[in-house]
Amino acid sequence: MASSKEYLDFILEQLSDLEEISYRSMMGEYIIYYRGKIIGGIYDDRFLVKPVRSAIALMPNAKYELPYDGAKEMLLVDDVDNKEFLTGLFNSMYDELPVPKPKKKK
């Protein structure tokens, strides 16, 4: 089941206090980037983030869920209505996220 554009728009609005939020559509789902790093995504209208230490510390009771079959587990963000929480979550996670790999030249 693909995610709705309405849910994406809602999440992007909740993240509007942050600069450099972007997304990429991929097979009906959405990958969310913060300042060039993948932070998580929207899968089946669920907002999932990478399970880095800071995210686990801020959401100790978060459920681990699979974004799709064969993927690594990610943390389900339940408190999507709390704009301040989401801003803090993204800021705390940023330094722990891997730097994107450079694209190979063709």
Domain boundaries, given as residue ranges, for the chain: 5-96
CA 70, chain centre distance (Å): 18
Average pLDDT over residues 77-93: 95
Answer yes or no: is pLDDT of 17 > 90: yes
Q: What b/e readout covers 35-54, taking b as 16+ CB neighbours within 10 angstroms?
A: eebebbbbbeebbbbbbbeb
- Any long-range contacts for 4-11 (C-beta under 8 Å, 24+ apart)? 4/45, 7/42, 7/45, 8/42, 10/80, 11/42, 11/47, 11/80
> pLDDT for 55-68, tens place per residue?
999 999 999 999 98
In words, the CATH class of domain 5-96 is alpha beta
Which band of pLDDT confidence, cut at 50, 70 and 90, is reported for residue 99?
confident
Its pTM stands at: 0.90
- Identify the pLDDT of residue 102: 79
Nearest-angstrom CA–CA distance, 2 and 62: 23
